[in-house]
Structure 1
Amino acid sequence: MTPVQHNPLWWQRRIIYQIYPRSFQDSTGNGTGDLRGVLSRLDHLQTLGVDAVWVSPIYPSPMADFGYDISDYRGVHELFGTMGDFDELLRETHNRGMKLLLDLVPNHTSDQHPWFQESRSSRDNPKRDWYLWHDGKEGGEPPNNWLSVFGGSAWEWDEATQQFYYHSFLKSQPDLNWRNPEVATAMFDVMRFWLDKGVDGFRVDAMWLMIKDDQFRDNPPNPDYKEGMNEDQKLKPIYSSDRPEVHDIVAQMRDVLDQYPERMMIGEIYLPVEEAVDYHGEDGQGVHLAFNNQLFFLPWEAKPLADAIDHYEKLLKPGDWPNWVLGNHDQPRIGSRVGREQARVAAMLLLTLRGTPTIYYGEEIGMRDVPIPKEEFQDPQGINMGKSRDPARTPMQWDDSDNAGFTTGTPWLRIAVDFPRVNVKQQQDDPASMLSLHQRLIRLRQQEPALHSGDYKTVQADGQVLAFLREAQGHASFLVVLNLGHKTAVFKPGAMSLKGTVAVATIPEREGIAVADVLDLAGDEGLLIRLD
Structure 2
Amino acid sequence: MVFNFAANQNFFLSLVTEDATPLSEALRSSPWLPHLAQWANFLRNHDELDLGRLPAAARKRVFAELGPEPKMQLYGRGLRRRLAPMLAGDRRRLELSFSLMLSLPGTPVLWYGDELGMGEDLPLHERQSVRTPMQWSDEPHGGFTRAPEPFRPVVSKAPFGFPQVNVEHQRGDPTSLLNWMERMVRMRKECPELGWGEWKLLRVKPPNVLALRYDWKDETLVVLHNLSGKACEVGFSPGGPPARLVHLLSEAHSTPGKAGRHRVTLEGYGYRWFRMEPLATG
Identify the residue that residue 188 of structure 2 maps to in structure 1: 445
Identify the residue that residue 22 of structure 2 maps to in structure 1: 304
Q: Which aligned pairs between 1:121-136 and structure 2 lie closer than 5 A?
A: none
In terms of Rg, which structure is larger?
1
Identify the residue that residue 415 of structure 1 maps to in structure 2: 155
Q: 1:317–1:484: structure 2 CA closer, same or farther, 3 Å change rule?
A: same
Is 1:403–2:110 an aligned residue pair?
A: no
1:382-423 per-residue CA deviation (whole Å, 9 max, x = no partner) reads xxxxxx222211221222333322233334224142333322
Residue pair 1:486, 1:524 contacting (<8 A) in 2 also = yes
Residue pair 2:113, 2:135 contacting (<8 A) in 1 also = yes
Identify the residue that residue 456 of structure 1 maps to in structure 2: 199
Report how far residue 330 of structure 1 moved: 0.7
Q: 1:431–1:526: structure 2 CA closer, same or farther, 3 Å change rule?
A: farther
Identify the residue that residue 329 of structure 1 maps to in structure 2: 46
Q: 1:518–1:421: structure 2 CA closer, same or farther, 3 Å change rule?
A: farther
Measure, in 1, the Cα distance between the counterparts of 2:229 and 2:269.
5
Report how far residue 321 of structure 1 moved: 2.6
1:181-231 per-residue CA deviation (whole Å, 9 max, x = no partner) reads xxxxxxxxxxxxxxxxxxxxxxxxxxxxxxxxxxxxxxxxxxxxxxxxxxx
1:265-324 per-residue CA deviation (whole Å, 9 max, x = no partner) reads xxxxxxxxxxxxxxxxxxxxxxxx222223442213411111111211x53345543221
Measure, in 2, the Cα distance between the counterparts of 1:521 and 1:503.
15
Q: 1:397–1:453: structure 2 CA closer, same or farther, 3 Å change rule?
A: same
Is 1:360–2:95 an aligned residue pair?
A: no
Residue pair 1:445, 1:452 contacting (<8 A) in 2 also = no
Measure, in 2, the Cα distance between the counterparts of 1:293 and 1:463.
22
For structure 1, which runs of at least 5 residues remain unmatched after alignment?
1-288, 380-387, 505-510
Identify the residue that residue 124 of structure 1 maps to in structure 2: none
Match of 1:502 among 247, 253, 256: 247
Give the % identical residues: 28
Match of 1:343 among 94, 100, 107: 94
Report how far residue 527 of structure 1 moved: 1.9
Measure, in 2, the Cα distance between the counterparts of 1:400 and 1:520.
40
| Count of aligned pairs between the two proteins | 223
Measure, in 2, the Cα distance between the counterparts of 1:416 and 1:502.
39
Residue pair 1:464, 1:489 contacting (<8 A) in 2 also = no
Measure, in 2, the Cα distance between the counterparts of 1:463 and 1:339.
24
SS of residue paired to 1:369: coil
Residue pair 2:120, 2:155 contacting (<8 A) in 1 also = no
Report how far residue 432 of structure 1 moved: 3.0
Report how far residue 455 of structure 1 moved: 1.8
Report how far residue 528 of structure 1 moved: 1.5
SS of residue paired to 1:490: strand
Match of 2:127 among 366, 389, 396: 389
Q: 1:498–1:327: structure 2 CA closer, same or farther, 3 Å change rule?
A: farther
Q: 1:296–1:449: structure 2 CA closer, same or farther, 3 Å change rule?
A: closer
Measure, in 2, the Cα distance between the counterparts of 1:526 and 1:429.
26
Report how far residue 490 of structure 1 moved: 2.2
Match of 1:523 among 260, 264, 268: 268
SS of residue paired to 1:448: coil
Residue pair 2:4, 2:41 contacting (<8 A) in 1 also = yes
Q: 1:502–1:427: structure 2 CA closer, same or farther, 3 Å change rule?
A: farther
Report how far residue 460 of structure 1 moved: 4.3
Identify the residue that residue 507 of structure 1 maps to in structure 2: none
Residue pair 1:295, 1:326 contacting (<8 A) in 2 also = no
Measure, in 2, the Cα distance between the counterparts of 1:416 and 1:295.
32
SS of residue paired to 1:324: strand
Measure, in 1, the Cα distance between the counterparts of 2:163 and 2:233.
36
Q: 1:433–1:492: structure 2 CA closer, same or farther, 3 Å change rule?
A: farther
Q: 1:318–1:451: structure 2 CA closer, same or farther, 3 Å change rule?
A: closer
Measure, in 1, the Cα distance between the counterparts of 2:156 and 2:226.
28
- For normalisation by structure 1, the TM-score amounts to 0.39
Measure, in 2, the Cα distance between the counterparts of 1:350 and 1:292.
11
Q: Which aligned pairs between 1:46-57 and structure 2 lie closer than 5 A?
A: none
Residue pair 2:244, 2:254 contacting (<8 A) in 1 also = yes
Measure, in 2, the Cα distance between the counterparts of 1:458 and 1:420.
43
Match of 1:485 among 209, 215, 228: 228
Q: Which aligned pairs between 1:109-148 and structure 2 lie closer than 5 A?
A: none
Q: 1:338–1:293: structure 2 CA closer, same or farther, 3 Å change rule?
A: farther
Identify the residue that residue 56 of structure 2 maps to in structure 1: none
SS of residue paired to 2:29: helix
1:61-107 per-residue CA deviation (whole Å, 9 max, x = no partner) reads xxxxxxxxxxxxxxxxxxxxxxxxxxxxxxxxxxxxxxxxxxxxxxx
Q: Which aligned pairs between 1:167-206 and structure 2 lie closer than 5 A?
A: none
Match of 2:218 among 457, 468, 474: 474
- Give the partner amino acid of 1:413: P
Identify the residue that residue 169 of structure 2 maps to in structure 1: 426
SS of residue paired to 1:335: helix
Measure, in 2, the Cα distance between the counterparts of 1:430 and 1:501.
28
